[in-house]
Amino acid sequence: MKIIMLMAMTLDGKIARTSDHFPDWTSREDKKRFAKISKEAGVVIMGEKTFSTFPSPLKERLNVVFTLEKNPKSTEGVKWVSGEPEKVLGELEKMGYTSAVLGGGAFLNGLFLKHKLIDEVYITIEPKIFGEGLSLFKGDFDVNLKLKEIEKINEESVVLKYKVTK
């Protein structure tokens, strides 16, 4: 299964001020790109804290939410999961999915990177600086990337597309 990590960050590398920071600071173009790519994949994988920043599940795609809760409440359009990411990806493949978007947060991004499950990284760099906040990944890594493309999506924002070398 192909995993594309799709995130927006500030110029200083922050994806949010805090774990409950609603992502209202990204550009309209970034939001449109996220919607298009994640709808094409059909699946968005995220952590429970990231999911809680949205008012409702993302429409027209399966929301796969990693949780520590034993019995999470049933929510239409949401598949609550826990455990090893490889097991979850195996379940998604059995459901017929061939790709998924990894949409954060920092802990889950780090977990997938540690398990060598990320194939591509698409990062929108927005013209903001938070100073303090959450980094793109939580953990200690030494991973090499190959730049595939740089795309300017508006007057101030760019997308960097990388392939993770494994």
- What phi and psi values does residue 32 have, to the nearest 5 degrees? -65, -40
pLDDT at residue 2 in the model: 98
> Which H/E stretch holds residue 101?
strand 99-102
For 18-40, what is each residue's pLDDT tens digit? 888 877 899 999 999 999 999 99
CATH of the domain at 157: 3.40.430.10
Average pLDDT of the chain?
Answer: 95
Residue 139 has pLDDT above 90, yes or no: yes
Structural domain for 98, as ranges: 2-164
| CB contact set of 112 (below 8 Å; sequence gap of 6+) | 3, 5, 45, 85, 102, 118
For 96: left if phi > 0, alpha if psi spans -120 to 50, otherwise beta; the answer is: left
Tally of domains within the chain:
1
pLDDT at residue 74 in the model: 85
For 131: left if phi > 0, alpha if psi spans -120 to 50, otherwise beta; the answer is: left
pLDDT at residue 30 in the model: 97
**What predicted TM-score, i.e. pTM, was given to this entire model?**
0.94
